[in-house]
Amino acid sequence: MIVRSLILWFMPIFVFSQSVTNTNPYNLPLTNTIEKYQNEVSINLDYALVDLAEVVPGIILDIRYATANNFTHDTIYELPKAYARRPVAEALASVQKELRRHGMGLKIYDAYRPYQATLKFWALVGDTQFVAAPWSGSRHNRGAAIDLTIVILKTGKDIDMPTGYDEFSEKASPKYMQLPESQIANREYLIKIMTKHGFSVFSSEWWHFDYKNWDKYSLIDLSFTQLMDYNKTSK
Ligand SMILES: [Zn+2]
């Protein structure tokens, strides 16, 4: 009896803490319930966030925000998943196909990012050159941006790039030229193949690419667990 009354006592607190976890301090129009998401997808199937592991054959995932190996030194995502809107995922599959003909493949650092993570990054960095402004949201929140690099399939090693992932310095700019020729060539190769398939590189990060018409996609704030459960039941 005591146990039951304790559960009843704690339950409203738990429900309350769930609702304050997902905040929207800038009152953005967020797709933050499964119902809203389902409605979007029913209007246009292109709005579906699809699992890159299912759509891009052989894709390598190194989802840093699902580990402590990222600039926050904290685990931000509950699962190492990479989702993107269907046309973005299909374009990545075309890039992958072309790379594999040359013995290479894509490695994804980050894809769709729930809006709550954008709020966390802003609280830590507070500089719009390197993290998205939370009052407008990130293109990652729209499922239309990807952070990636290229891997040599034979060795499993990344090609040599000017910086590591999420190095917030001027060397990360795709225009930075005080580098060995091979690093410039590798960066140019990545940018060229991504551009060919509808992506454009971000001006301060060689690893970040936005897909064309990114602004037609809404800002989403659903967790990977919510998306995984939804995709399972809608199959
Ligand atoms: Zn990015």
> Ligand 1: distance of its center to the CA of 208 in Å?
4
Read off the pTM: 0.89
Mean pLDDT over the full length of the chain: 91
The CA 22 to ligand 1 mean position distance, Å, reads 21
- Ligand 1 centroid to Cα of residue 9, in Å, is 43
pLDDT category of residue 219 using cuts at 50, 70 and 90: very high
pLDDT in tens, 83-126: 999 999 999 999 999 999 999 999 999 999 999 999 999 998 88
Tens of pLDDT along 40-63? 999 999 999 999 999 999 999 999
pLDDT confidence of residue 199: 98
- Which tops the pLDDT comparison, 176 or 15? 176
Q: Does residue 92 lie in a domain region? A: yes
Rounded Cα distance between 61 and 111, Å, is 10
CA of 172 to the centre of ligand 1 (A): 12
Asked if the structure places residue 13 within a domain, the reply is: no
Decide: residue 167, CB within 10 A, 0-12 exposed, 13-18 middle, 19+ buried.
middle
Q: Which residues are catalytic?
A: 205
**Residues of the domain holding 34:** 26-233
Residue 168: the pLDDT is: 87
Cβ atoms of 220 and 31 within 8 Å: the answer is: yes
Q: How confident is the model at residue 20 (pLDDT cuts 50, 70, 90)?
A: very low
| CATH number for 48 | 3.30.1380.10
Please give the distance, rounded to the nearest whole angstrom, from the Cα atom of residue 152 to the centre of ligand 1: 22
Domain count of the chain? 1
* Paired strand residues for 61: 108
The three-class DSSP label of residue 198 is coil
Answer yes or no: is 21 within a domain: no
12 inside domain: no
CA of 130 to the centre of ligand 1 (A): 9
Residue 11 lies in a domain: no
110 CA to centre of ligand 1 in angstroms: 7
Strand partners, 210: 145, 200
Q: Give the pLDDT confidence of 137-166 residue by residue, as tens digits.
A: 999 999 999 999 999 999 999 999 999 999
What DSSP designation does 64 have?
Answer: G
Does a structural domain hold residue 16?
no
Give residue 17's pLDDT: 40
229: tokens are 């459960």
Any domain includes 58: yes
The reply to whether 164 falls in a domain is yes
